Structure 1
Amino acid sequence: MHSNERQHHGEADLSAVAKLIAEPPRAKALMALLDGRWLPASMLAREAGVANSTMSGHLARLVDGGMIVAEKHGRYRYYRLADATVAELVEVMARIAPTLTISSLRADTRARVVRRARHCYDHLGGRLAVAITGAMARDGYVVAPEDEPLATADNPPDHVLDPIAVTVTRPGSEFLGRLGITVSAGSAARCCVDWTEHRHHLAGAPGRAILSVCRDRGWLRPAPHSRAMQLSDDGRDALEELFGVDLCEKPSR
């Protein structure tokens, strides 16, 4: 084989990805796209606090770097994360990154809403997702490996968390079936590490299906111009009854 026909692969160039995310407007765009939706460049510009023309350049860099994809509809371009791997990368970085200083009541309110319930790419994240996952573990609907316990609101971690796989039990399969969700007993389901709560929440097929049921029944609806989800009064009552959890907001201290 000639030398020019042989390909050599070295170590991964992490700096290339770091350079893509290093600019604040690009980082804010990626965070805004974590809900898996297609969003227009104008909305991403508002999220980043920059002009549309400036944001277009940043988005082009992210497209070229394989972080996001674009589609044109009429006069406008819409953007979405390239895949779940990019979403996972952003979530992991959010867990280890310092938090931004909140300098306004509006920003504080938005942060609280995002922490309460939000899209985590294609499933539910936030305090609500952690509560649901903890209830399913408590009731024996999902079980985690003995050497990788599930971190819930009632079972705080004593170490840095990693995503884990849980198993859906027969009672869990029957419970989900009553919600119209078909998951076979013994199926594996992935649990993400929630970046605001630092606990596990259910992802994979069961996580996607639970979010879909909540939306279809009007229990959760997307917040305007945000990846946060708003919990309706009917939704709070239904989920509290289903999972045996208290979803009332506690006053901050």
Structure 2
Amino acid sequence: MGQHNISSVAHLIAEPVRSVMLITLADGSALSASALAEAAGVTAQTASSHLSKLLDGGLLSVESKGRHRYYRLAGVHVSHLLESLASVGPVTPAWRNTPSRSAQALRFARCCYDHLAGQIGVAVTQSMLTQGFIAEAGERQYALTAPGCEWLQQLGIDMGDPAFDQTDHARQCLDWTERQYHVAGQLGARLMDAFLAWGWMCRSPTTRAVTVTTLGWDGLKKHFGIERYACGPD
């Protein structure tokens, strides 16, 4: 990417209203202009102007359903860009010393586009590494091992599915709150889908936060060795 393109993208993301809109969509959702205006605390007219710039800059896509238009990130690469930028930024004293309940919830567990992030996301990844289910494999990649494939099949996640992309099956994503990697790619997405389907976790209707259920804590302890007291809010 040339210098001009980098500066253009940086300018788009740096604007506070646009950054809020992008972060709001970082869980992979599609929202209306009015919902994004409310999230950013601006008028519908102001939101429309910012959304147009984000569309022109290739950071958002839009789909029409009847008379309504819904905006989403242009792809998982945009979510990774946002997480990477957040991870290299300074940790503010407010976040480090007296985080709000909403900030605590996001740090504990959240959606990073289509996969799990936060303390729980990192803990799940570390557990899979320790158990030998995945292994580091080159720059920003994990390799799914033979024991890992067998283990996932026992959990009902079939690696033989033609939809499973072996070229992007287990990517390292730098967690912006923990400053460690969590698993992304197809494997990360499959795990997130499974955790939600099994009732282990619930997504917040208003933020990217994810809540672990009682059933989820049992499952996390059994399969990943993650204790309830080990991470996250009380």
TM-score (norm 2): 0.86
- Aligned residue type for 2:158: T
Tell me the residue number matched to 2:174: 193
- Aligned residue type for 1:93: L
TM-superposed deviation, 1:52:
2.3
Q: Which runs of 5+ in 1 are unaligned?
A: 1-8, 149-162
Is 1:91–1:195's contact at 8 Å kept on the other side of the alignment? yes
- Aligned residue type for 2:29: R
Query: What are the superposed Cα offsets for residues 31-56 of structure 1, whole Å, 9 maximum, x if unpaired?
Result: 11111111122222222122222112
* Paired positions, count: 223
CA 101–61 in structure 1, closer or farther in 2 if over 3 Å, else same: farther
User: Which of 88, 91, 102 is the aligned partner of 1:96?
Assistant: 88
- Aligned residue type for 1:141: F
d(CA) in 2 for partners of 1:208 and 1:95? 21
Tell me the residue number matched to 1:156: none
User: Which of 194, 204, 214 is the aligned partner of 1:223?
Assistant: 204
Instruction: For CA contacts below 8 A with separation 6 or more, give which structure has more relative contact order.
Output: 2
d(CA) in 2 for partners of 1:240 and 1:205? 23
1:243 and 2:224 are equivalent in the alignment: yes
Aligned 1:194-209 pairs, distance under 5 A: 194-209=175-190
Tell me the residue number matched to 2:163: none
User: Which of 50, 71, 78 is the aligned partner of 2:63?
Assistant: 71
1:61 and 2:53 are equivalent in the alignment: yes
d(CA) in 2 for partners of 1:18 and 1:169? 38
CA 78–102 in structure 1, closer or farther in 2 if over 3 Å, else same: farther
User: Which of 4, 26, 29 is the aligned partner of 2:21?
Assistant: 29
Tell me the residue number matched to 1:182: 158
- Aligned residue type for 1:213: A
Is 2:119–2:231's contact at 8 Å kept on the other side of the alignment? no
d(CA) in 1 for partners of 2:84 and 2:156? 31
RMSD (CA atoms) = 2.3
d(CA) in 1 for partners of 2:93 and 2:47? 23
- Aligned residue type for 2:26: L
- Aligned residue type for 1:166: Y
Is 1:191–1:201's contact at 8 Å kept on the other side of the alignment? yes
Which of structure 1's runs of 4+ aligned residues deviate more than 6 A? none
TM-superposed deviation, 1:15:
1.4
User: Which of 194, 198, 217 is the aligned partner of 1:213?
Assistant: 194
CA 226–200 in structure 1, closer or farther in 2 if over 3 Å, else same: same
Query: What are the superposed Cα offsets for residues 59-109 of structure 1, whole Å, 9 maximum, x if unpaired?
Result: 111011111011233443211000122111111111122356759xxx811
- Aligned residue type for 1:189: A
CA 10–216 in structure 1, closer or farther in 2 if over 3 Å, else same: closer
TM-superposed deviation, 1:223:
0.4
Aligned 1:73-152 pairs, distance under 5 A: 73-99=65-91, 108-145=100-137
Q: Which runs of 5+ in 2 are unaligned?
A: 161-165
TM-superposed deviation, 1:207:
0.9
**Larger Rg belongs to:** 1
d(CA) in 2 for partners of 1:249 and 1:239? 11
Query: What are the superposed Cα offsets for residues 136-183 of structure 1, whole Å, 9 maximum, x if unpaired?
Result: 1111111114xx7xxxxxxxxxxxxxx621111111111111111123
Write 1 or 2 for the structure with the bigger share of helix: 2
Aligned 1:43-62 pairs, distance under 5 A: 43-62=35-54
DSSP-derived class of the 1:13 partner = helix
Is 1:176–1:182's contact at 8 Å kept on the other side of the alignment? yes
d(CA) in 1 for partners of 2:230 and 2:46? 39
Greater alpha carbon shift after TM alignment, 9-18 vs 231-240 = 9-18
Query: What are the superposed Cα offsets for residues 181-233 of structure 1, whole Å, 9 maximum, x if unpaired?
Result: 1237xx66211111111111111121111101111111111102111111111
CA 76–234 in structure 1, closer or farther in 2 if over 3 Å, else same: same
